[in-house]
Amino acid sequence: MKSLKFFVSASMVLLAACSGMTSTPAPDRVVANSSHLPVTASSPGPCTVLKGCPSVSKIYVTDQGDNTLRTYTGTGAPSTPTITGLNHPWGVAVDATGKIYIANFYGSTLTTYTQTGAPTTPTITGLYLPTGVAVDKNGKIYIVNTSIDTITTYTSSGAPTTPTITLPPSSFGEGIAVDSNGKIYVALAVSGKVLTYTAAGVQTTPTLSSLASPQGVAVDAGGKIYVATGGDGAVHTFTAAGTPTTPTITGLLGAYLLALDPFGRIYVVDQNAVHTFSGNGTPTTPTISDPNGPVGVAITP
């Protein structure tokens, strides 16, 4: 039911329906909402004219229209695995070992798969219409439960752990990102905000407000925050302190979840495709056409 991911009014309907290699060492952060792989000072830095920009290894896309996860090469060619039989998949994350984690909205479960697409552990049940999922560098799993406005956290084996974060009522949390210090960022579509929490689950700065139905959130190796906003079909960027900065990307047909790669590229899902942009916001390759209701995206370098 592809329409469930459309914004701004659709979020309200849904709520009603469900009650360079750098010379200066950079902090070891996780690029999120998707790949959640650590980007350290030894990671490849942003692309330059001289050194070019290598392709990533794989791009993973969740499709709600046919309950499938599709995989593409870094150049946009179809690849493996293809994972079928999902239940309205929303967010997707890939950990440092290549394990794939998928939030099944209608199934209220998180299912996990090997790099080849074989089901594996953990399977987390008893969730409440999960949307965003993040996995930190230690394998800790963070899940946004929309119908109870809560972030629940699990060990790598799927056991409940801390923190549990209560979000504002009826805020419809979606995208989630976690940096390597455990700082947690969550996009609230109906509230029009991105809230930030410490690793212990205490609300902290920055709070990003007056956003047009924010769906996805990601944080790069320098602490820059990227927010995909469905209401205006854009990606807005903020400093670590929450000040607006560049790039601003516009002209998308909605904007859902997004991901970053270690080379500074931005991957954002809209109604019909996954679009790729350079770190300065210039469109680049690949553009992956997808008529099957794409929502989530994850990257492996």
pLDDT single digits (tens) 229-279: 999 999 999 999 999 999 999 999 999 999 999 999 999 999 999 999 999
Which positions ≥6 away from 118 have C-beta within 8 Å? none
Confidence of residue 55 (pLDDT cuts 50, 70, 90): confident
pLDDT single digits (tens) 152-185: 999 999 999 999 999 999 999 999 999 878 999 9
Over residues 115-122, the mean pLDDT reads 98
Confidence of residue 53 (pLDDT cuts 50, 70, 90): confident
Is 201 within 8 Å of 185 (Cβ atoms)? no
Prediction pTM value: 0.87
Number of neighbours of residue 283 by Cβ within 10 angstroms: 11
Q: What is the DSSP string of 229-258?
A: ETTTTEEEEE-TTS-EEEEEE---SS---E
CA distance 156 to 140: 5
Which of residues 4 and 75 earns the better pLDDT score?
A: 75
Tell me: pLDDT of 36 over 60: no
- Tell me the percentage of the chain whose pLDDT exceeds 70: 83
Alpha helices in 113-165 (DSSP H): none
CA distance 301 to 299: 6
Cα distances (angstroms) measured from residue 214 to each of 40, 94, 133, 226: 27, 22, 16, 10
For position 51, what pLDDT does the model report?
A: 52
